[in-house]
Structure 1
């Protein structure tokens, strides 16, 4: 076992996740207190409300990354902990403290109370270790997440009886409701409290990819584009070259379902229905009977990314803040050569009105003339003064006449007359005079206090709560919250979100696609035909000058690769590519799917992630619409933030970091002696021998490699691409159905019916399942390499798929997990406490955590005699140590919980963060 002191000292004290706020503020029913989630501090901050000010009463340690809060009563508050997969039930009787920790599905986001009698509803992803806990046996909806099963909803709402949480390990839900959509985010309740609304977070927009082989403009077939007796339209919409006249690589395309014609069509209106083997019903918002727990109806066409919802207290009309992605528009840049660009028009900020059975989208920035780009004559530089970007939480006056919306990317609160909003008669240029400017940046939550004529606004950039006078619409007070974030995190965050700073029209930002620094579940075609061909000699597998022609011959590739058969070429027209997460990038080397940022404006280094990140600077001009690239100094500030944001722990892998039998078999093949790529030639002098999976997708935590070591490869696709990391594949489940593609030995599917996602795996999202991916010709059995033949091979593929979903990551699965011990649940939770203690002692290797460490730190929070104390587990002695040096054994801590009011909450924190969280939160 590692010496805890040395290991813990090596790890950073703060790990950034940058979780998105959902409902960060709540007011007590009697109007005397304001509750605020302090996300970086992992606390609930409680304020006394005064006229014109807020006074901090206390801070209550909750779970990691709290993002939502709801007051059940004047004395009970529920907090949703996004990273901990938990809900903290906080009692204000006596010293405020957590009295119960509810364990729920992965990445919970929101909580509301609805129905009669009132029930608690919590949104989570349809996955996570707690869904299959034995204590939930018999709970409707609990069990296996069915990651490999088609037509399964991936949107869960956990329902609890708040008056009877049960004695099970993490509380006993009445039901886990599953909706046919991807991960949910926000909830809302009707004025009569009987209808619950559930909003899909990344709901999509009924777009999907068509694979390169099906588009078949010459790749692996003839221009007639007949594949296995199916005739397709053939070819990309064009142009076929960039402005230099250099032929572009063969690529796929994006199609959209036309509700009028009932066909999947490209931008030219051509019918690709035969190439899309599934339907996308686009279920965006669900209406649920909060009493019977039954789905009443759903509403499509609300938006692509849904953030928050609120119901009009007088009319019941529902308002949904969202953005609508413009991913059917092709190319960035000036759009001169191709006549097409989405520069500045990436995702429209909207509020969608749902009422009377109608869904009406309202573009908040309809004053923007997208036809005028920053360098065009007549461009209106004042447009951004009237724009609202990334609309999040909303609040509505008791008379239902005025709606306030927090514009996260604009440092403003939008103010709308609901009648004008519903009729779409508002004018952003005149309405903007009513907008409320908020200092600090990143307004994410808003609560009205009409009795005092005040409004409270959470501002994430400076981690504070602002008091706004409603009459003057002026900020009159600021309540800062303790912020343990390093200066580089605070300084760099605005570059991701602030559309005023990073775009010409005030609507576009990096976060328009990289939602809260992650991804948007879509593909985009962000090539630029007005750019020249570039090159960078990135090392890789099967792509040097001698191997490249042989590799093409092996794959029977008849068209040019990279447009010109130069393995080091990067053509500016690269085709559709899935939005990648911006988390966990620091050890990935050159960025973008192809690694084409290795060489650029601010440096050249194929393995330096920082240099590659700096080279994204031109995207601020070409995509977001600034008048010039971001400066090197500004990009470095951005990089110092983003390259330090982590991916969350894997929610599929067991909390003890073990693998089940199938996952272990998959890992054994992945790292085993049998070559998996299937290309093994006798003459190894002219071609590299086959690799096992790990040979390309390197898994080496000591170097920070989780599927990629920064290399490129060519294996039968029309461009050289980076070997991708594999840490978040579980988030891309939900597209099932694909046509026949010669590169894949698995036959195409029949019509698969309704699915929840339009984009799947690989760089363009065109491969529906990992099982299909592993059927590619590169993995076929050739000379004893590749997957075995027949049933044995299929079973091995299934095992490797299971391992992919449980793939290792920078943090152990236990990080964030917590449980509260009270006087009535010792028998249920003692095993979980023992697990947390064991994992805090278990060795773990992570470059990002300083090398050799343990899986987690373990802290305990308890109120002793009315005084809150935090304890840190010293693994060397096995005792828990407080800030003043006092120690308690685990048995002594457990004994404390036997007294009412002295509940003990144990939390597994990232290694290195434990002492800070125990002593300073």
Structure 2
């Protein structure tokens, strides 16, 4: 039955809730013996452990929830007990002991780590934002070396069967397109709406090999690395635009789940229903011969809605696995709420399984694994935070259960999140908002979504760059030219307008400021996706969800949020002074703090533009560092630079400015400051310190905790601690007013830092101190369900057992952090009872329709 879903808010209030959208890469894995399924509950910063059981119709049972770093995105089991978890927001790897149910080590790696593989006694961690592979000695848990990877967002990884080769896919690898600047581009065509004036001169998206282009755009899709000597051997190109997952076929071929964008098609009416192709690509090795398999062959690309196509479409493949004999593969379609069984030999779709069928709510199947016996496929649904089990023999639904007991996503946010990702809302089922805004971010390329048949738009603005606060109406032509896809994260920061009263009336969203609210993007559904406009209430939920999203911290700032005096040989502190110096740089006039923009459409002529453009924020400049290297054969990792249309590749002057008084010596520090611009999230958010008896007395440990305590006082983050002490799971929360750590039970007195460290004395004792978002302090620091009763003071639920001739029924209070165990005797082995619980009237119940004989005993056990 599917009546169990299940979205209970337990700890977070709507008014304060903020979060990150984890880019899950490998959130599901099995232990080597196949007895436990490892699932990441990313919003809860937790690893969930399921007992898989055996048999074709057996549902898995949640048996443990183990705190890890913030925004875990990938998990791999090194042994049946030791599990490594990659934490995107914490920039770390958590090493977890399943038997002890605790993180026993934290290894800090690079910025925004994404995936992990083991080979030759080493762990290889892809760090997407810092563009490197961190190599770790698994025995010593120490970093051996760092391999630079010249790709955009190196993320998903796979290892050859013999362990000699590592393959790393670039999430934003691009598709060998770039922008021909407006000065070199041909004049745009005449508008089809004869009432329109001539279109402005804009750039043009062209193939990167266009002879008019003066730089070399690389196509670094998949890196091949020698795992023995940690050397990058070559790049494989031509795979796709956005690469989501890699998998090795038993025959030795490498497969990539990807999407390929059609951004060479110009204008919104022509792109409607034609955005991307979703594919599985076979890469024959060592020749690297590519064979693309379209997951939607024959899908109608019609402008009008096509229900038959919507019912079959598979959008955004994010995971692929093969049966041991290689004759079949399974793939997730994240935006379609489907998984599919395919024939690798032909690419044919053999079966589609709808993981949403018969239930409300978008699921978002993100990853899957096959059970050890091959009878079941386990599917992690990211958008619903659930686990679906499907039989491989017939594709039959077996069960769906919560990934974890603590639901940290608000109901309205979950609905808005689903709408953003739901390709079934498009005309042919292949497109969603998330097709370009991957995980509410961007796809790394530009699109020309102008409309020759559109209408002019009038936007109020002022010439603030020349100190004129008079409000004018600027006319915007619908043939706007190429625009780089922008992130949907951090939109709430757009509400801060600091520079001028005139700026307060300027609309906020889009490159040209032509969308007054998030809700006004509703036109995308009919005009671009070929579907129908959503009800106002739906768009309100999308807006609420997007406004809850935060940016990652800027790794170029110090942990205490201050600027560095030496970053790449220059001082960000000196750069800030230049930025603020009106007579030297003029930057602050248009790029006001906090967001780095005054939201105004200023004089386009002053920045080399042919049409008005909103002054863009500077929070994410650091993320595009190094994509262009003019000193190395004019090479670019991306065909798209800092400007709105993808032109301008070099800092600090990402656009020409006629009033510039900067000297040559000013360039390096000003660039360094721009690379250090505050994102709105403090660097201590996600930062962790794992304390064991080996480092509990170290001065450095106490110093790190002192810094975390200080930043908590500044409300940069809350500070919590969790771990095992004397064999018991414990959690604590730092309380700034009392300067003490409060425990998960009222029977414990508040403790100082020194007293906390003194607790870690036993050989297996460990405590991990974590900076977390302020609104999560209660849930992560001793009161999971936010009911005012500390976790260790909670009374266990009562268990009721009933029988009929047909079934045994267990019933208990709806605490999802308890699960039933059974045994043939009180002194026997207790094992999980593999029956999927359902919710009914505030209680959970589970039926076994095959009562066992002799009589059995039952009890409830806690997941943490």
TM-score range, shorter chain: 0.7 to 0.9
* 1:837 equivalenced with 2:706 (yes/no): yes
**1:673 offset after TM fit, Å?**
4.6
Corresponding position: 1:159 with 2:135: yes
Show the 5 A alignment for 1:127-526.
Answer: 127=130, 155-165=131-141, 172-215=142-185, 235-239=186-190, 242-257=193-208, 263-264=209-210, 271-273=211-213, 276=214, 278-313=215-250, 315-333=251-269, 341-356=270-285, 357=287, 358-370=289-301, 372-374=302-304, 380-421=306-347, 426=348, 431-432=350-351, 441-451=363-373, 453-480=375-402, 481=404, 482-500=406-424, 502-526=425-449
For residue 912 of structure 1, give the secondary structure of its aligned residue in structure 2.
helix
What is the match of residue 765 of structure 1? Answer: 646
The match for 2:676 is 806
In the TM superposition, residue 540 of structure 1 has moved relative to its aligned partner by: 5.6
CA contact (8 A) 1:240 1:248 kept: yes
1:614 corresponds to which residue? 519
Q: Tell whether the 8 Å contact from 1:840 to 1:908 is kept in structure 2 after alignment.
A: no
Q: 2:592 aligns with which of 698, 703, 708?
A: 698
| Structure 1 residue 272, shift from structure 2 partner | 1.3
- Are 1:156 and 1:183, in contact at CA under 8 Å, matched by a contact in 2? no
**C-alpha separation in 2, matches of 1:751 and 1:824:** 46
Structure with more relative contact order (C-alpha pairs < 8 Å, separation 6 or more): 1
Q: Of Structure 1 and Structure 2, which has the larger fraction of its residues in strand?
A: 2
Deviation of the 1:416 alpha carbon: 0.3
Write the mapping of 1:843-882 to structure 2, written as runs, cut at 5 A.
853-882=714-743
- The structure-2 alpha-carbon separation of the partners of 1:401 and 1:617, relative to structure 1 and needing over 3 Å to count, comes to same
Q: What's the secondary structure of 2:460's corresponding residue? A: coil
CA distance in 1, matches of 2:53, 2:16: 35
The two structures have a TM-score, normalised by structure 2, of 0.82
- The C-alpha deviation readout for 1:725-770, integer Å capped at 9, x for no partner, is 1111111223436xxxxxxxxxxx6883433121111211200112
Q: Secondary structure at the match of 2:117?
A: strand
Note the aligned Cα RMSD (angstroms). 2.4
Q: Is the 8 A contact 1:282 1:301 kept in 2?
A: yes
Cα distance change, pair 586–543 in 1 and its aligned pair in 2 (3 A): farther
Report the secondary structure of 1:109's partner residue: strand
CA distance, structure 1, for counterparts of residue 631 and residue 684 of structure 2: 40
- For 2:81 and 2:407, how far apart are their aligned partners in 1? 26
After TM superposition, give the deviation of residue 24 of structure 1 in Å: 0.8
8 A Cα contact 1:415 1:436, kept in partner? no
Secondary structure at the residue paired with 2:645?
Answer: coil
Mapped contact 1:436–1:473 kept (Cα < 8 A): no
Whole-angstrom CA distance in 2 between matches of 1:447 and 1:770? 44
Matched, 1:104 2:109: yes
Q: 1:432 to 1:46 in 2, by over 3 A?
A: closer
User: What's the CA shift string for 1:371-411, capped at 9, x where partnerless?
Assistant: x311xxxx743112111011001111011111111110011
2:660 aligns with: 780
| Distance in structure 2 (CA, Å) of the matches to 1:920 and 1:529 | 57
Instruction: Give the 3 Å change call, closer, same or farther, for CA 817–348 of structure 1 in structure 2.
Output: same
**Alignment correspondent of 1:734:** 626
How far apart are the structure 2 equivalents of 1:736 and 1:346? Answer: 27
Report deviation, 1:289.
2.1
- Contact preservation (8 Å) 2:114, 2:128: no
Give the whole-Å Cα distance in 1 for the aligned partners of 2:114 and 2:105.
Answer: 18
Runs of 5+ unmatched residues, structure 1: 1-7, 128-154, 166-171, 216-234, 258-262, 265-270, 334-340, 549-565, 599-611, 678-692, 700-704, 738-748, 782-786, 788-792, 845-852
Q: Specify whether residues 449 and 816 from structure 1 end up closer, same or farther in structure 2 by C-alpha distance, changes over 3 A only.
A: same
Measured after TM superposition, the shift of residue 363 of structure 1 is 1.6
C-alpha distance in 2 between matches for 1:916 and 1:433: 39
Distance 1:395 1:41, change over 3 A: same
Partner of 2:616: 724
Q: 1:576 aligns with which of 482, 487, 498?
A: 482
Following the alignment from structure 1 to structure 2, what is the Cα–Cα distance between the partners of residues 210 and 59? 52
CA contact (8 A) 1:839 1:855 kept: no
Structure 2, unaligned runs of 5 or more: 1-10, 495-506, 566-570, 785-864
Distance 2:351 2:14 in 1: 47
Q: Return the offset for 1:246.
A: 1.4
Alignment match of 1:823 (pick from 675, 682, 693): 693
The superposition leaves residues 346-383 of structure 1 with CA deviations (integer Å, 9 ceiling, x where unpaired) of 1211111101420122221121233x311xxxx74311
Relative to structure 1, is the Cα distance of residues 834 and 15 closer, same or farther in structure 2, using a 3 angstrom cutoff? farther
Alignment of 1:651-670 (within 5 A): 651-661=555-565, 662-670=571-579
Runs of at least 4 residues of structure 1 off by over 4 A? 8-13, 240-243, 432-440, 542-548
Q: Distance in 1 between matches of 2:13 and 2:783?
A: 19
Query: TM-score if structure 1 supplies the norm length?
Result: 0.77
